[in-house]
Amino acid sequence: MSIKAENIKYVYSEGTPFRTVALDNLNLEIREGDFLGIIGHTGSGKSTLIQLFNGLESPTEGQIIVDGTIVGEDKKKLSKIRQLVGLVFQYPEYQLFEETVAKDVAFGPVNLNISKEEIDIRVKEALELVGFNYDEIKDVSPFDLSGGQKRRVAIAGVLAMKPHYLILDEPTAGLDPAGRNEIFSQIQTLHKKSNVTVVLVSHSMEDIAKLVNRVIVLYKGKIHMEGTPKQIYSQAEELEKIGLGIPQVAQIVNELRKCGFNIKPDILTVEEAKDEILKEVRRR
Ligand code: ADP
Ligand code: MG
């Protein structure tokens, strides 16, 4: 089970002076159980790419294969693919519109031709998966929630479709630090508790480093780097060249290394940095 992108090219406004190549000869595979980060500067092609995964858009060249099915080849299979590949768009709270949270989360499943009982079970499960107490939240108006809570409701709406793949486009954009932590810890718990494959899209390396186990770096519509967060972070200069910052703690470690400190280059957390720096100081 996987999502495969094969030789993908995507061109906007072909045949006009506004022609833009958003994706170029891109190949990747998202495997079942992955917790993948797709990172890149604004305009690198992230949002375009994920809209191909569920057939919302079709590639100009190449193909997307979801669990063995070529997306778009048979139009009748598209609704199944959209159920398997759940997309949470940027600022998903703008799509909340029902008068209660429960109704909003039920919106997708209602179109799935399943029983009322099954819908209720799914709504409850989905809301609990994103950390809500069902009885407390179900009758609340989405408009009375905080930014982070609204976003969790929007994520629950996609989870209620029981997707195999959950793809989140910049899920913390515009939230304050508390809202960001709330979302990230819920996504992390979700990945551990359910067996959904998670793809997190972000322009911020710092956000994603601690969560995902594999990172794909997009640059100008191409895969520029790929590896574990540690492998990617140890290439600080390369990342800076393409406009991606590295976490502050990794910057400090890099500066210390330049000054002759003998510490590992692939440090992601403050704890690790502390241990390594102390070891080096004691050696000296
Ligand atoms: P990201 O999500 O990484 O910011 P996008 O996929 O939104 O990147 O954009 C990739 C490229 O495609 C950019 O050059 C962007 O300007 C262009 N682009 C995105 N959407 C459109 C559109 N609807 N029409 C024309 N060009 C677009
Ligand atoms: Mg985007």
Domain extent listing, the chain: 2-228
For ligand 1, atom 5, which residue shows the shortest CA distance?
Answer: 45
Residues 202 and 210: their CA atoms lie apart, in Å, by 13
Q: pLDDT tens per residue, the chain (284 residues)?
A: 999 999 999 999 999 999 999 999 999 999 999 999 999 999 999 999 999 999 999 999 999 999 999 999 999 999 999 999 999 999 998 888 899 999 999 999 998 889 999 999 999 999 999 999 999 999 999 999 998 999 999 999 999 999 999 999 999 998 888 888 889 999 999 999 888 999 999 988 877 888 999 999 999 999 999 999 889 888 888 888 888 877 778 888 888 999 999 998 878 778 889 999 999 999 88
Q: Which ligand is nearest to the CA of 243?
A: 1
pLDDT reported for residue 96:
87
- 2-228 has which CATH code? 3.40.50.300
Residues 187 and 207: their CA atoms lie apart, in Å, by 12
What string of H, E and C letters represents the secondary structure of 142-155? HHHCCHHHHHHHHH
Distance from the alpha carbon of residue 101 to the mean position of ligand 1, in angstroms:
32
Is 42 touching ligand 1 by the criterion CB < 6 Å?
yes
User: Do the Cβ atoms of 239 and 224 come closer than 8 Å?
Assistant: no
pLDDT reported for residue 62:
98
pLDDT reported for residue 199:
97
Is 171 touching ligand 1 by the criterion CB < 6 Å?
no
pLDDT reported for residue 56:
94
